[in-house]
Amino acid sequence: MTLYEYRCGQCAAVELNFAMGQAPQNTECPGCGREARRVFSAPRLSIAGTSAYKLLDSTARSAHEPDVVSGLPGKKAPKQRYTHNPLHQKLPRP
């Protein structure tokens, strides 16, 4: 299915799916019911993979639907300076 863009005089542009080459020149506007004409727009071709699209979708979604948190982020845990593994005690010390 191919995505075609239609526009009437009253409403914003509407995108509808039709089989390639089967899209009518005019269709009914779903917003106001008037006749909407097909307009030509830039094709949406991209070489980006699906992982890039997932990243773009998640960033766009997070702008409007941010994650809900229950509290402020905590401090990072201090790094463990000493190990309790008995095998490490046999290693030479610096």
The tens digit of pLDDT for each residue in 3-55 reads 889 998 888 888 888 888 888 898 888 888 888 999 888 777 766 678 888 88
Q: 12 CB contacts (<8 Å, ≥6 apart)?
A: 31
Segments making up each domain of the chain, as ranges: 1-44
CATH number for region 1-44: 2.20.28
Give the DSSP per-residue string, 46-92.
----HHHHHHHHHHHHHHHSPPP-SS---PPPPPP-S---GGGGGSP
Tokens of 79: 């790094």
Please report which confidence band the pLDDT of residue 1 belongs to, taking 50, 70 and 90 as the band edges.
Answer: low
